[in-house]
Amino acid sequence: MDLSSWSKALCGSEPVSLETLESFAGKFRSCGFPAHSFVPCYGLAEATLAVTMHPLGEPLGAEWLDRTALANHVAQPAITEDEQGAVRVVDCGFPVEGTQVEVRAETGAILSEGFIGHVWVKGPSLMQGYYDSVAAAGLPDGWLNTGDLGYLRRGRLFVTGRHKDLVIIRGQKYLPLDFETAAAKVSLGRVVAFGIVQAETGTEGLCILCEEPRQPPPDWEALRAEVQSHVTTRTGVIAAGIHFVPRNSIPHTTSGKLQRSKAREMFLAGLLTEAKTPRERAAI
């Protein structure tokens, strides 16, 4: 297999993972894949499709952000570049030609660079509205609130997550991806994290769903403890619940994006059941 002619490898996943890009480049280096062809970008269906793109040929860029400052909507560089005290966010580049990007506060005020808020987009490829919806009449002044959170730095966009997916624990805001990345170091299937109200305290706690590995472990509790250890070490948060569910049961879009809100609804409705050992399956 010869991948040496692959000149542009665009990646607009939600979000872009530098670890994944580096792993891919390392895996296919022997096939001639040029790592400099990677183009991290940000886009959405409503903008058909691209909004920002990393300049072609530039080295991949990312920032390590202080975890505490991030929870307070400030993209402050971390003192040390490690996962225990920092979060790494990928540089998704500049707006494509003719497209404008702004980061705004809840009030709609435009935020300065380095402050995290809602990503708003305007451009010639933007939709006119949603079909058969109250939004179909048009967008305010041609701008769309994407529902994503991020910040600008030197005109480049860094995406930190989805507003509706934030997990709030004791007033502190966390990105679900942070928990999912930590848990995924143990689990081999999809992982999704969301907040749930704990009946005994009435406060929100962290719930993590992990799809079972291909080979069920001999000890589920040991695996659960390992996931807990990784999550707590990385984020300082002790999960209220860690559950293993059957493979391919966590909902996702056709492009592979996790549907966290839907997963939460299914879990609370009892539609996502605990995975079983081979012996338990045989008994059914």
Per-residue pLDDT of 63-107, as tens digits, reads: 999 988 988 899 999 988 877 778 899 999 999 999 999 999 999
Output the CA–CA distances (angstroms, integers) from residue 53 to 50, 62, 118, 155, 174, in the order listed. Answer: 7, 14, 18, 12, 26
DSSP-based three-state secondary structure for 201: coil
Whether residues 140 and 277 share a domain: the answer is no
Residue 87 lies in a domain: yes
Q: The domain that contains 138 carries what CATH number?
A: 3.40.50.12780
Whether residues 114 and 211 share a domain: the answer is no
pLDDT digits (tens, 9 = 90+) for 194-234: 999 877 777 789 999 999 888 878 788 999 999 999 999 98
Residue-range definition of the domain harbouring residue 61: 9-23+36-163
Whether residues 140 and 17 share a domain: the answer is yes
Whether residues 153 and 170 share a domain: the answer is no
Residue 279 lies in a domain: yes
Query: What angle do helix axes 176-184 and 220-235 make, rounded to 10 degrees?
Result: 130
Strands across the sheet containing 144-153: 100-104, 117-122, 144-153, 156-162
Residue 147 lies in a domain: yes
Residue 260 lies in a domain: yes
Residue 219 pLDDT? 87
Residue 3 lies in a domain: no
Residue 135 pLDDT? 53
Residue 31 lies in a domain: no
Number of domains in the chain: 2
- Which contiguous run of DSSP H or E holds residue 119? strand 117-122
Whether residues 172 and 150 share a domain: the answer is no
Residue 91 lies in a domain: yes
Residue 283 pLDDT? 46
Asked if residue 136 has pLDDT above 60, the reply is no
Residue 68 lies in a domain: yes
Model pTM? Answer: 0.84
Asked if residue 235 has pLDDT above 60, the reply is yes
